[in-house]
Amino acid sequence: MVTFNFKDFGENLGTRPLGKRIREQLLPLLEQSQECVVLDFTGVNVVSNSFADECIAKLLLTMPLAELKSRTTFRGLNPVAADCVLTALQRRHITML
């Protein structure tokens, strides 16, 4: 497995510009890796709805949800951050149907 550490970008991930910047670094890793990519949020305290949409949910613009699920796994999300990521993915997925 390959690990992508979100803590490298800070403990509080809250803005769309930051989400875009991180997504632009994450996407090539997802495209090039033959292994599952661990999206590691260990040590991250805050993940805003805007960040989750821009960074994680917008990955659905480049791959279907089933592919994203098969190529990634999450680690270290606190319950509030996990809820933000899940909500962003659900909203983005619904708008794409």
User: For the residues 22-26, what does the mean pLDDT come to?
Assistant: 98
Sequence-ordered strand ranges (E) for the chain: 2-5, 12-13, 37-40, 46-47, 72-75
Cα gap 60→22, rounded to integer Å: 15
Tell me the per-residue pLDDT of 30-79, one tens digit each, with 9 for 90 and over: 999 999 999 999 999 999 999 999 999 999 999 999 999 999 999 999 99
If DSSP codes are grouped into helix, strand and coil, which group holds residue 39?
A: strand
* pLDDT score at 95: 87
To the nearest whole number, what is the mean pLDDT of the chain?
A: 96
Of 51, 62, 72, 57, residue with least CA distance to 4 = 72
Q: 20 near 53, Cβ under 8 Å?
A: no
